[in-house]
Amino acid sequence: AQSVTQPDIHITVSEGASLELRCNYSYGATPYLFWYVQSPGQGLQLLLKYFSGDTLVQGIKGFEAEFKRSQSSFNLRKPSVHWSDAAEYFCAVGYSTLTFGKGTMLLVSP
């Protein structure tokens, strides 16, 4: 059965510092991979997605993610975090239906 692991429940980053959120997955083959962001009281918004090709994908809001097949990982990165990036981030895998990780809450300190 497929599963998604986000090992960090919450992360605190200083504004302007770099960010990396980890995601590992277990799936029969390379699935579609996604990162979503959820602000308080809001639905989930797609940041970026990957299926094949260049293993470094660019998304909205300055985010990028790198797929590493050998590690079954799809980590999300941002070079410089802004206070408005504080939110919960979900990694998801699948095809027609998605399996989500438990999420990582990002806190941004001044």
Q: Answer for the pair 50, 76: CB distance below 8 angstroms, yes or no.
A: no
Q: Answer for the pair 48, 57: CB distance below 8 angstroms, yes or no.
A: yes
User: In this chain, which of 12, 14, 26, 42 binds another protein, going by CB under 8 A?
Assistant: 42
Residue 90 binding another protein, by CB under 8 A? yes
- Nearer to another protein among residue 4 and residue 87 (C-beta): 4
CA dist., res. 17 & res. 79, Å (int):
7
Q: Can you give the binding site for another protein, defined by CB under 8 A?
A: 4, 32, 34, 36, 41-46, 49, 51, 90, 92, 94-98, 100-103
